[in-house]
Amino acid sequence: MANTSSAKKALRQTVKLTARNLAKKKKIKELMKEAEAAIESKSKDAQAAAHKLYKALDKAAKTNTIHKNKASRLKSTVQQKINKIT
């Protein structure tokens, strides 16, 4: 258990940030599944689903939840799949 006040504050911050990061990562996974499903069904809304995903990835990369290169790589992969069906 934390003894000093600064250690207690650091623990509080870690708990908050961990919860926030996990929520962002979960949202990215859900949006990835939506985008993949739209691409698989060759739906017209595949680009719209991808746009939501891109926004979530950029926000997560901006706050260092995920690395910026990973966000870029995921966006590129999804766009390549979209380009194949169009």
Residue 10 belongs to a domain with what CATH number?
1.20.58.110
Q: What is the pLDDT of residue 71?
A: 98
Q: At what angle do helices 46-62 and 68-85 cross, to 10 degrees?
A: 170
Q: Which pTM value belongs to this model?
A: 0.88
Read off the amino acid at residue 25.
Answer: K
| pLDDT at residue 1 tops 90 | no
Residue scoring higher pLDDT (76 or 2)? 76
Domain that includes residue 57, residue range: 5-85
Tally of domains in the chain? 1
pLDDT in tens, 23-80: 999 999 999 999 999 999 998 899 999 999 999 999 999 999 999 999 999 999 999 9
Instruction: Specify the length of the chain in residues.
Output: 86
